[in-house]
């Protein structure tokens, strides 16, 4: 069992049990918390999220987590909606929801031609510049996606996926990382990605 302090930030807008189980299977103890002392003392942080950006940001505000997430200096991994919250804003209908602003990108409704939304199921991710988050993950590995909104490809992109057109599947800005897919539901490739993040 590793001595590393791993914390899943308790946002109130995610089912954290599957993320927790995926980390524990790798031999780590996990704490779920929104206590600033616990969060700031962690070695690695996870920010999972499901649902809408407006509800998630409302939850973060009500739990005094917005300034806390902005304060962290250790590596943080946003998952699915958690990655989108790291951007500047997220489209929701005709509205733009202000997000955390760590990544210089806006999340918008996907343009996928004739393909159905949400983008649900398995798809391949192409790493950019052999990013260490994808270390020891075979080429053309599949990851599990469930989403209708995405960030465009940009300088922050460390992994991209195609669904109608390319979009950002993984992101890094300083100590903030994010994946649009669900690594905790992505079999061996997802487990390896979580392991890579924990060992970075």
Catalytic center residues: 80, 182, 184
Q: Strands 149-150, 157-163: parallel, antiparallel or unpaired by DSSP?
A: unpaired
Phi, psi at 109, each rounded to 5°: -60, 135
CB 145 within 8 A of CB 121: yes
Cis before 93? omega within 30? no
Token output for 179: 């994946």
The helices-and-strands tally (H runs, E runs) of the chain is 6, 14
Report CA 47 to chain centroid distance, whole Å.
7
Edge-first strand listing for the sheet containing 89-92: 95-98, 89-92, 106-109, 149-150
Q: Strands 165-173, 157-163: parallel, antiparallel or unpaired by DSSP?
A: antiparallel
CB 21 within 8 A of CB 32: no
Token output for 24: 């524990």
């Amino acid at each position: 069992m590793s001595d590393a302090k791993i914390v899943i930030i308790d946002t109130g807008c995610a089912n954290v049990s599957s993320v927790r189980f995926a980390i524990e299977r790798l031999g780590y103890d996990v704490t779920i918390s929104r206590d600033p002392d616990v969060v700031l003392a962690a070695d690695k942080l996870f920010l999972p999220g499901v649902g809408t950006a407006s509800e998630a940001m409302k939850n973060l505000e009500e739990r005094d987590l917005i300034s806390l997430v902005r304060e962290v200096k250790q590596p943080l991994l946003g998952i699915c909606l958690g990655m989108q919250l790291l951007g500047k804003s997220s489209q929701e209908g005709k509205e733009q929801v202000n997000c955390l602003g760590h990544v210089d990108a806006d999340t918008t409704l996907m343009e996928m031609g004739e393909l159905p939304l949400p983008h649900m199921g398995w798809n391949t991710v192409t790493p950019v510049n052999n990013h260490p988050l994808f270390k020891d993950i075979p080429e053309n590995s599949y990851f599990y996606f469930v989403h209708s909104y995405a960030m465009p490809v940009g300088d922050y992109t460390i992994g991209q996926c195609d669904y109608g057109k390319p979009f950002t599947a993984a992101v890094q800005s300083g100590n903030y990382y994010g994946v649009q897919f669900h690594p905790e539901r992505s079999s061996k490739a997802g487990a390896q990605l979580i392991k890579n993040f924990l060992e970075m």
